[in-house]
Structures are given as structure tokens and as C-alpha cells.
Amino acid sequence: MAVEAERKPLIRRLLGEDAAIVQLAAITLLIFAVMAGLNPDKFLRYYNFESISYVMPELGILCIAMMVAMLTGGIDLSIVAIANLAAITAGIYFRHPAVAESIAAGGAGAVLHTIMGVLIALTVGLAAGLLNGVLIARLRIIPILATLGTGQVFAGLALVLTGGPAIAGYPQAWTWIGTGKLLGIAAPFWILIVVAVVVAVVLRRTHLGVNLMLIGTNARAAVFAGIRSSRMILYSYAMTGLMAAIAGILLSGRTNSAKADFGSSYLLQAVLIAVLGGTNPAGGKGRVAGVLLALVALMLLSSGMQIMRVSNFMIDAVWGAFLVLVIAINYLRSPK
Amino acid sequence: MRSLQSTEAVIAAVLVVVMLLIGLINPAFWGVDNLFSLARANVVIGIMALGVLLIMISGGIDVSFPAISAAALYITVRTMVALDYDGVVLPFIAASVIGVLLGTFNAFIIERFRMIPLIVTLGTASIVRGLVLGLLGTSIVNINKMPKELIAFGKQDLVSVTAQNGATVGLTAMVLVYIGVAVVMHIVLRHTMMGRSVYAYGGDPESARRAGVNTRRTIYFVYCTAGLLAGFAGLLHASMIWQANPRDFIGLELDVIAAVVLGGASIFGGRGSVLGTMIGVFTLVMIKNSLILMKVDTTWQRVVVGVIIIAATAITAWRDRKKLV
């Protein structure tokens, strides 16, 4: 009997609030099985999963950032531009003659300057996020248009800073962030885990997280309940900007370059994965675990298709079709 | 009604001030060749903007129309080349039909699954672009292969003038097409039941439903018409630049949405006019073109467009502030 009593809530959870997660896990396993079945020798190689673990984190962090923006019913269309701008600003810092000299000398100076570069990138991300937050929370501009506009401004500034071509030649310590290994696991993957855990804790265990969910569920009620709504929204966009900058560091570290129009396809993918992961774009619902599962599912899908030599254009089409399919499934599953 | 008119008056006043400023910085702005090329640059973006206006009045947003335009123009021209067919009317009908079909797809998903239009159109844009580039390829149909009659159609001028430097510059006749579409759109929006129900639906979907508006038909009308205009504008673009490039219009959604918002339309729906949108399009196109005249580095263009979007939306948000919590 005791066992029964313990089991019941678990089953109820699996069928109830965690149904979305279970469903996602099933989709992920299905994709894994299909891709493994279609190309057993290439897909199941250790190398394939290792390369996924390097590419996945930058997109994953952008997806979590998108999810945070969606919690209050908003969206952030400027994340990719913020990521590029942050990486480019740091790249320009490294180009400064004095800094470049010190990095070339190696030793503690190089590491110190890299840390400085990381701080610069994070500051840029935070400032960009705060700008979004001020426009959305204080000036009351609708998030789509505000971030569409700031996205143009950030991408434009990145273009002005670089003059067009890519910035290359980041210090070794910086590229280690994107390509290195720690305890046998990709360094960027560790960063993804840290970001995911921090955001999950913030959303689940802090005032900010709970308030964001409440604002997203019913903005008017949240105001009447005494939640300082505009401040909370401001914080959420600041968080989004900060995460976008982290993604920018990973992207530039992995490719050892940064450009104003890198990763533009990431925007759609971030929206898709956030929605697929159970985030409600109208606000009030979103979980880090769901987003991570959706991320793994789609990374497996696209890596499998790449192994089968499906053209990148067709992969884009499949991503879009997946988004529409998920919309349909979410609708059919939701109580009417 | 009066507030709408005053909104347009404000935009028009801004436009005049900006024109005078640009003219002061570089008198070449008032040259006939520059004005003609400005008018030319308005046509395709303007027709697309009228479609986006319709969607915005209904309270939605569309980022898939550049993909629809590119698909319509590329499928049509490639088919014409493959069949060795030359003509004008039939291709434009074909491009419009392709646009309507893709618009129907948008409407179906938005209406059936009650999903936010932004997310839906992000998805459909990706599907359409991916399929066109993946299945039809990426090669550009250049002037040698382009159907001759299509080029001849796009080449027509209303008037041509010889500029100071001896070159002949013409005002493209496509301006008439643009104005024609705008007039029809104005009449539909202001003087038909369908147009009024788009405003009603955008103002408040639930009230519109209770007042007897057929909301499903309204949504289909809005997205199909926007698709039609996108498809039509796509082929018009091809006939005006004498080539068909499946990668055309990437990123254009930002400019068009900016222009429509600049023209006084509210993204919350229920507000916006054809005249305002046309002025908004003209202002945006003019500012972008004039940055070069004013010797501003082209890399600054995106920053300027972004600032315009933010400024225009900040003003409309301030205007619409009572609608918010």
C-alpha cells in the first residue's frame, strides 16, 4: 500500500503537469531512434555527439533567453544581434595595441585581458538588455517592435564597429571557452549547464521568477496584486541580454571570429525550441527542462539530416514545419 | 476619424521637415532623377506595406511576406523560363495565386490553432524559403533568360526627362500600379463591410464576434489579401529589376513593418490608414536613400532604420497608452 501511495503522485505528475516533458522526452527518443536507424554507423559515433556538445550550448543559451522573454508574454528578437555585438566589442578590445601586446606576451596578462574581454561582452549584453527592458517596461513599446528596432540598432552598431568583415584572432583563452574541454566534457557544455541551473533556480525559487510567471498569466491582476510589474519585466530583459552575450562569447570562441550577421538563423530556431519546449508565447508558462529537451531533440534531428546530406535549405524548411506541427500539437493537447 | 486624420497630418509634417533638411544638406535631393528614383523605390515596398497594413489593422503581424514574395516571383519566372512562355497578365495572376495560397496557409494555422501570428509567420517564412531554395535551387535568372515581355512591362515610363548630365531619366509607370492598388485598398477598408470588419476585429476580436462579424472569414481575408499583394509585388520587383533572385527581400520585413508603424498604424490593431502607410513608406525609403546623398556611411543605415522603428513605436505607444494596463 505504501508503495502505491508513493507511486500515485508520480503517475499523476507524468500524466498531468509533467505531461509536456514526458511527451518531449518521447519525441527526443523517437528522433534519436529514427536517426540512429537511418544511419547507424555515422550517427552513433562518439565524434558526432561530441561535436553536438560544442555547437548546442550557444543555441541552447539563446533558447533559454528567448523563453525568459516569453514568460511575460514578450519576445526578444534582438538576441542574436546582442550576441554578435557583445562578441565584436570584446574583439575590438583585444585588437587594441596595448592589449594585443600583453596577450601576445602570454602568461597571467593574457588570461587577465581575456577575463576583461568577457566582462566587456557581458556588460554590453546587460546594457543592451536593459535598453530593451526600458523601452518595453517604461516606454510601453510592444516587445516585438521594440526588439525588432533595437535588433536593427545593435546589428547596425556591430556593422559600424567592424566596417563589414569578420573580426578574427581572439586570444587563446577566449577560444578555449568555445573549444576547450573540462573533465572530458566540452567547456561550452559546462557553461550551458551552469546557465540552465541558474535560470531554473531563479524562475522556480525566487520572487523574480514567480512574479514573472504571474505577470505573464495575467498582467492586470499582477498589477492589482501589488507586483512591481515594470521592474520585473526590466529585470527579465536584462537577464535575456546577459544570456545573449554569453551565447555570443561561446559562438565567437568556437569559431574564433565574430561578424555582424553571424547566426541569423538562430533567431527562428530559438523561438521554435522555446515554443516546442512548452513555453507559452502568450506568457505565464515556461520551463528550462522543457527547453533543454526540445533543444536536444532538434539538435539530434538536424545532425541526423546533415549526416544524410540533406541540404541546409531543406533543414530550415523542416525546422519551420516542426514549429507549425508543434503549434498544432500544443493546441490539440490544451484544454479548450 | 479626426484623430486618424491628424495622425496623418503629423506624419506628413515630419516628412516635409525631413525633406527640407535633406534638401538643405544636399540640393541634389531635389533633382528630377533623384525624385524619380525615389518614386520607383516606393512601388514594391509600398504594395507590400499595404498588405502588412491590413494585417496590422486586424491586430496581427506578418514576417513571412518577403518569403512569399520571393517564392511567388521565383516559381513564376522559373516556370516561364521552363515552358518558354512569355507574357504579362498570366504570370502576374500566377504570382498572385501563389501568394494567396501561401496566405491561406498562414490564415489556416492562425485561425485553426489560435496561435500568435508572429510565431506562425516565422515558421511559414522558414518553410517557404527553405523549400524554394532547397527544391528549386539558388541560381539567379538573369536578364538574358528573363522573359522579354515581363522586362518590357517593367521598363515602361510615364514621362522621361533629360537630366543635366545628359542621361535620360524616366518616372516608372509602375507608380500607377502602386497608386491603383492603394486606391482599391482604401475603398475596401473604408467602404466595404469586409474592410470595416477588419477594423472591428482588430479593435476587439470578442466584441466584433458578438457584433456579428464573421471572424474566421475576416482572418482568411486579411492573410489571403496580404499574400496576394506580396506575390504580386514580388513579380513586379522581378520585372522592374530584370532578374529573378530567390534570395531577394531577406530582412525586408523590418523595413516594411517600420514603414507601416511610422505611418501611424497600431500594432494593437484597429488603427491605420492607406494614406498614412504610403507616407510612412515614402519617409522610410527617402531617409534610407538620402543617407547616401548626405554622405553618411552605408554601415549606419541599419542603425538609422532601427532608431526610426523605436522612435515611431514609442510615439504610437504613447498615443495608445490608455489601452494598456
Judge contact between A143 and A71, C-beta under 8 A: no
| Radius of gyration of chain A from its Cα atoms, rounded to whole angstroms | 21
Q: What is the pLDDT of residue A336?
A: 52
Distance, in Å, from the CA atom of B133 to the CA atom of A316, rounded to the nearest integer, reads 10
* Chain A residues lying within 8 Å of B119, measured CB to CB: 271, 275, 281, 323, 327
Q: Which of B118, B124, B308 sits opposite A144 (nearest CB)?
A: B118
Q: What is the pLDDT of residue A43?
A: 73
**For residue A266, what is its C-alpha cell?**
538562430
- Cβ separation of A149 and B61 shorter than 8 Å? no
- Cβ separation of A327 and B134 shorter than 8 Å? no
Distance, in Å, from the CA atom of A64 to the CA atom of A287, rounded to the nearest integer, reads 9
Lowest mean pLDDT among A24-33, A80-89, B85-94, B204-213: A24-33
Q: What is the CATH number of domain A42-333?
A: 1.10.3470
Q: What is the pLDDT of residue A126?
A: 93
Q: Going by C-beta distance under 8 Å and a sequence separation of 6 or more, which residues neighbour residue A246?
A: A61, A122, A125, A191, A195
Q: Where are the domains of chain A?
A: 42-333
Q: Which of A229, A313, A319, A333 should we substitute to test contact with B (largest number of B Cβ atoms within 10 Å)?
A: A313
- Cβ separation of B317 and A331 shorter than 8 Å? no
B311 Cα distance to chain centroid: 20
Judge contact between A70 and A281, C-beta under 8 A: yes
Task: Write the ipTM.
Answer: 0.80
Span B111-118, average pLDDT = 86
Please give the residue that has the higher pLDDT: either B116 or B103: B103
Please give the residue that has the higher pLDDT: either A315 or B96: B96
Query: SS3 helix, strand, coil % of chain A, rounded to 5?
Result: 80, 0, 20
- Cβ separation of A151 and B307 shorter than 8 Å? no
Residue B323 CB neighbours (<10 A): 14
Residue B279 CB neighbours (<10 A): 22
**For residue B105, what is its C-alpha cell?**
496557409
* Chain A residues lying within 8 Å of B130, measured CB to CB: 313-320
**Residue A78's closest chain B neighbor by CA?**
B306
**For residue A297, what is its C-alpha cell?**
531533440
Q: Which of A144, A146, A313 sits opposite B134 (nearest CB)?
A: A313
* Chain B residues lying within 8 Å of A220, measured CB to CB: 325
Judge contact between B280 and B259, C-beta under 8 A: yes
DSSP A150-181: HHHHHHHHHHHHH-SSPEE---HHHHHHHH-E
Judge contact between B200 and B211, C-beta under 8 A: yes
Span B296-312, average pLDDT = 81
pLDDT 10s digits, B226-263 = 999 999 999 999 988 888 888 888 878 878 988 898 88
**Tens of pLDDT along chain A (336 residues)?**
444 444 555 555 555 556 677 777 878 888 888 877 777 777 777 777 778 888 889 899 999 999 999 888 888 889 999 999 999 998 888 887 777 777 777 777 777 888 888 899 999 999 999 999 998 888 888 888 888 889 888 988 888 888 878 887 788 777 877 777 778 778 888 888 899 889 888 888 887 777 777 777 777 777 777 777 788 888 899 999 999 999 999 888 888 888 877 877 788 788 888 888 878 777 777 788 888 888 988 888 888 888 877 888 888 888 888 888 878 877 777 665
A315 and chain B in contact, CB less than 8 A:
yes
Q: Which of B116, B123, B318 sits opposite A324 (nearest CB)?
A: B123
Q: Is the pLDDT of residue B186 over 60?
A: yes
Q: What is the pLDDT of residue A82?
A: 93
Q: What is the pLDDT of residue A335?
A: 62
Q: Would the CA dihedral through B234, B235, B238, B239 be positive or negative?
A: negative
- Cβ separation of A141 and B317 shorter than 8 Å? yes
Topology annotation, domain B2-317: ABC transporter involved in vitamin B12 uptake, BtuC (1.10.3470)
pLDDT, averaged across chain B? 86
- Return the top range by mean pLDDT from A252-261, B10-19, B116-125, B295-304: B116-125
- Cβ separation of A317 and B126 shorter than 8 Å? yes
B113 Cα distance to chain centroid: 27
**H or E segment and range at residue A330:** helix A312-333
Measured between CA atoms, how close is B160 to chain A, in angstroms? 37
A329 and chain B in contact, CB less than 8 A:
no
Percent of chain B with pLDDT over 90: 33
Q: Which of A140, A268, A311 sits opposite B134 (nearest CB)?
A: A311
